[in-house]
Chains A and B, each alone.
Chain A
Amino acid sequence: MSQPAIVAEHLTVRFRPYLDRRPTLKKSLSGVRRKAGLVTALDDVGFRIDRGEAFGVVGANGAGKSTLLRVLAGTLIPDEGRVARHGRTSTLLQLGVGFNTELSGSRNIYLGAMAAGLAPDQVDERFDAIVEYSGLGHAIDRPLKTYSSGMFSRLAFSVGMYLDPEILLLDEVLAVGDEAFRRKSMRSMRELVDRSGTIVLVSHNLSSIADFCDRAMWLEDGVVREIGPAEEVVGKYGLVARAAPVTLAGREVRPVPDEGWPSRVRSKVVIQLLAGANIEDLAYEYSVTVDDLKQWRTAFVEGGRRALDELEERSGSRHA
């Protein structure tokens, strides 16, 4: 049996709504507290990630992805449940944590690496390798505030990789630098996983999760909607998540995976045309077969058009 790297059980995190989270002096002195309901960011989330696994997390904004990563990183203590990490955890939840933009790139290497827990001599040892990996060359002695955003994230990512993590938590940091550096960073992450390291990846870039991760989890309003092979989860999420904004000829179109979903090669997707905003206002249903999950969008849009045409035709013939 494979070894677990992260085991999360019944994670529940509740936040006070924004305004209520900032009790001012006046409010707490006067003892007046508005009884605002708690917002549940994570609701009984549980999963297990093994060593040597790349695990993706997808979900809409506000679904609880970042909260989850913070709990996994140990910076946020959940209200309920527990998480066990087996291994040195390094987080790149955000790029460039601990950096001071007034200081040079080299000083920031020290600052960032020491913020993450390295001792100065450990940074000494890795310093040259980090500079080399970042490809920044002489720019490393310039103040960080003169860096382009690409250079900034390259430096930050390089520091993160050389923390020598066993568990790497990444939040939306895949769009790192230029194309060449992006490929290099993906390769490094792949190597980490091959050395039986573990990566948890949060991204809105669905294809990179589908390509890179073994398994993925789909969070919706703090609840696990789906855990499974990355490609399947991403496929389903992509289909449903991106359904809402698509409007064809003034009608909302929403795809719904059918029961048999997902068979990996061919799958039937039911496209529903809604008369109004709600699922109850179903005007017409149309099924389309998707041969390749990655083609879902094309299939979806085309299917939607065809469905619209049919609907128009039908109503046209009725008028006639």
Chain B
Amino acid sequence: MTAADISTEADRSYVSELWQRRHFAWFLAMGNIRARNASTALGLIWWVLNPLFLGLIYFFVFGVIFDTGRDIAYLLSGMFVFYFTSQAMTGGANSILSNAKLLLNLRFPRMVLPLATVAEAIVGFGSSLLVLFAIAGVTGGLALGTNTWWIVPIFVLQTVMTIGLAALTARLAVPFRDIKNVIPYVTRLWLYVSPIIWPIEFVQRIPDLFQPVAMANPMWAIIGVYRTALLGYPLEQADLIWSAVWAILLGVGGVWSFVRYEGRMVRYL
């Protein structure tokens, strides 16, 4: 017995341990996806039907009834991008609490759980993009071309930000269970202050003083770049910069706060 045998476990870095558990995170996410609709007749098809119905309803309300003057591609692109992040936040808040048994029994980097939530949300986002392509392919509005390459960096930035937010809600929901009740309202508010169901130009109706505030909304920037990529809107450099700033701030901040806290989580379960 040497000293090395004792220390091997502790010395392995967090990141490499997390990397070793990547398959588990993925398997957990896929298991949840499969399980969620396991007892429904349509099964996995629901992953496409959910965003489809959602998109149709929002289009009916804001495109037809209120006639906000935007096409369905505009509406759906914003909606689906937003839902990727908001789903991960909701799931993140549950990720630790609903896996209490895992945490109490096994030692592993806890970030696996919010990461699995984000992976799940990514799959949902992917299937909703298919819906977007299908609908907008019929109604028009899609502009795919070299601009579409912007989807790569903006997806990476959004994912980093979303990981941070999922980690943050997960970390907060452990000691403060109330967070779970608060999140739906936070995301609802966020949905309405983001340029999703209303056209970007609406921002000019608010006082000049608040316009920069509205545009500093991470969703403003992120959705803007997505619309450049998918709908051919001109690229605003500010959107790109804000997206990167938010990704780094929320991504690093959320994960840092989570990892610092994770040793104490078990005591609250």
A residues contacting B by CB (< 8 A) are: 3-4, 15-16, 21-26, 28, 70, 73-77, 84-86, 89, 91, 93-94, 97-98, 100, 102-103, 107, 110-111, 114-117, 119-120, 143
Contact = CB atoms under 8 A, between A and B. Distances in A.
11 contacts: A23-B175, A24-B176, A70-B266, A75-B107, A76-B267, A94-B104, A97-B102, A103-B35, A115-B24, A115-B28, A115-B102
A133 to B, nearest CB: 21
B192 interface: no
Contacts of B108: 115, 117
Given A102-B38, A111-B31, 19 more contacts: A16-B267, A21-B267, A21-B268, A23-B176, A24-B176, A26-B178, A28-B176, A70-B266, A73-B106, A75-B106, A75-B107, A75-B266, A76-B104, A89-B107, A110-B27, A115-B24, A115-B106, A115-B108, A117-B24
Contacts of B182: 25
Interface of B: 1, 5-6, 9, 20-21, 23-24, 27-28, 31-32, 34-36, 38-39, 101-108, 175-179, 182, 263-264, 266-268
Contact of A22 (B31, B36, B268): B268
B31 A93 contact: no
Nearest to B2: A86
B39 A120 contact: no
A93 B100 CA distance: 13
B106 A107 contact: no
Contacts of B6: 84-86
Contact of B1 (A3, A100, A110, A111): A3
A24 B172 CA distance: 11
Contact of B179 (A25, A103, A110): A25
Contacts of A15: 267
A75 B103 contact: yes
A70 B27 contact: no
Contact of A114 (B5, B23, B175, B268): B23
A119 B105 contact: no
A23 B174 CA distance: 10
Given A22-B268, A73-B105, A97-B102, A103 B38 contact: yes
Nearest to B112: A115
A85 B27 contact: no
Contact of A100 (B24, B32, B175, B267): B32
Contact of B104 (A24, A75, A77): A75
Give the dominant DSSP class at B's interface.
helix
Contacts of B102: 97-98, 115
Nearest to A90: B106
B186 to A, nearest CB: 13
Contact of A97 (B24, B39, B105, B176): B105
A91 B106 contact: yes
Contacts of B103: 75
Greatest chain A CB density within 10 A among B24, B105, B175, B178 is at: B105
B266 A102 contact: no
Nearest to A79: B267
A107 B24 CA distance: 12
A75 B20 CA distance: 18
Nearest to A169: B105
Contacts of B176: 23-25, 28
A98 B113 CA distance: 12
Given A75-B266, A100-B31, A102-B34, A25 B104 contact: no
Nearest to A171: B105
B23 to A, nearest CB: 5
A100 B34 CA distance: 10
A117 B39 CA distance: 29
Contacts of A114: 21, 23-24, 27
Given A21-B268, A102-B39, A114-B24, A97 B177 contact: no
Greatest chain A CB density within 10 A among B6, B107, B175, B266 is at: B107
A216 B239 CA distance: 65
B27 A25 contact: no
A108 B106 CA distance: 16
Contacts of A76: 104, 266-267
B43 to A, nearest CB: 11
A94 B269 CA distance: 15
Given A23-B175, A75-B107, A77-B263, A103 B101 contact: no
